Amino acid sequence: MPTEKPNVLLVTADHWPAALLGVAGHPSVRTPTLDQLALNGTRFTNAYAECPVCIPARRTLMTGTQPRTHGDRVYKDRLRMPAVPTLAQTFRDAGYQAAAVGKLHVFPQRDRIGFDDVILCEEGRMQYAVADDYELFLAERGHAGEFFGHGMSNNEYHTRAWHLPENLHVTHWATRNMCRTIQRRDPTRPGFWYLSYMHPHPPLVPLQAYLDLYREVPIDEPVCGEWARDPERIPYLLRARQRIDTPFDAVQVRAARRAFYALCTHIDHQLRLVIGTLREEGLVDNTIVCFSSDHGDVLGDHGVWAKRTFLEGSANIPMIVAGAKGGARVPAGAIDDRLVGWADVMPTLLELASVEVPATVEGCSMFGERKREHFYGECGEGLSANRMVRDARYKLIYYPVGNRVQLFDLQQDPRELNDLAEVSALSGVRERLTEILIEHLYGEDEAWVQGGKLAGLPDRETPPPVNRGLTGQRGTHWPLPSHAKPFEA
Specify the pairing of strand 386-390 against strand 375-379. antiparallel
* pLDDT at residue 488 in the model: 66
Whole-Å CA distances, 163 to 151, 183, 364: 9, 30, 43
Give pLDDT < 70 ranges for the chain: 1-3, 127, 245-247, 482, 487-489
Tell me the CATH class for 7-372. Answer: alpha beta
Beta-bridge partner residues of 341: 48
Cβ–Cβ < 8 Å for 116, 92: yes
Domain boundaries, the chain: 7-372
In angstroms, the CA 399 to CA 403 distance is 6
* pLDDT at residue 145 in the model: 92
The torsion angles phi and psi of 36, rounded to 5 degrees, stand at -70, -40
Dihedral angle of Cα 449, 450, 455, 460, to the nearest 10 degrees? -90
The torsion angles phi and psi of 70, rounded to 5 degrees, stand at -85, -10
* pLDDT at residue 439 in the model: 98
Cβ–Cβ < 8 Å for 413, 86: no
Cβ–Cβ < 8 Å for 161, 205: yes
Q: Which residues contact 387 (CB under 8 A, 6 or more apart)?
A: 310, 376, 377, 378, 379, 397, 398, 400, 437, 440, 441, 445
* pLDDT at residue 247 in the model: 64
Beta-bridge partner residues of 100: 118, 194
Cβ–Cβ < 8 Å for 346, 355: no
